[in-house]
Amino acid sequence: MQIRPLSIADAFEVTPRQFPDDRGVFLESFRGDLLAEVIGHRPQVVQTNISVSSRGTVRGIHFADVPPSQAKYVTALSGALLDFVIDLRVGSPTFGQWDSVLLDTVDRRAVYLAEGLGHAFVALEDDTTAMYLCTAAYNPGREHGIHPLDAEVGLVFPDGLEPLLSPKDAAAPSLAQALDENLLPSYGACLALARELADQDQDQDQGQD
């Protein structure tokens, strides 16, 4: 398994090693221990989500209040999607910037994004099925969105796709509006949460000795 940092700090592309034979293929799609080596703590999966999307469907940009927010590990079970990580952390060196990874059933990559980062994707094929491993349960009172077509964010979608948004995502504020309304997480709060999670991991390891 190869884990590559994206251009947004605390986000990673994960490429598993695949073992094909005449029966099909086998792979390890998630390794919490290997991920812990690069993020500083073992992610605790609390909730698993699955979405099925038609071609052109855009989901996001979504994020949650910090703490606890919600780290995500996203992969495609069928079809293909272009996955976006957007830095919404006020004070971050890459605030407002984004990176993307193609998730499909060929390379079977995954994307990990830490708490406080924004997430979105666009489905490239009909019946694209995405699976998300989440470190916190969904809490509607603490969930927020940014309009995925906000020109200031500038997400680039493949040519020939007509974006299909939910009413909720279509009504989401722009990045500038969310900043003015103090909806965005601070970079300092995200760093503090990461240190807290690392300390909790260390305390658990010491308790097992």
Q: Which positions are annotated as active-site residues?
A: 62, 132
Which of 119, 111, 101, 19 minimizes the C-alpha distance to 64? 119
CA distances from 47 to 25, 50, 51 (A): 26, 10, 13
Quote the tokens at residue 203: 């305390």
Which of 163, 181, 193 minimizes the C-alpha distance to 61? 163
Q: How far apart are CA 12 and CA 113, in angstroms?
A: 7
Q: Report whether 68 contacts 134 (CB < 8 A).
A: no
DSSP result, 176-187: HHHHHTT-SPBH
Q: Report whether 184 contacts 116 (CB < 8 A).
A: no
Q: Which residues does 34 contact at the CB level (< 8 Å), separation at least 6?
A: 1, 3
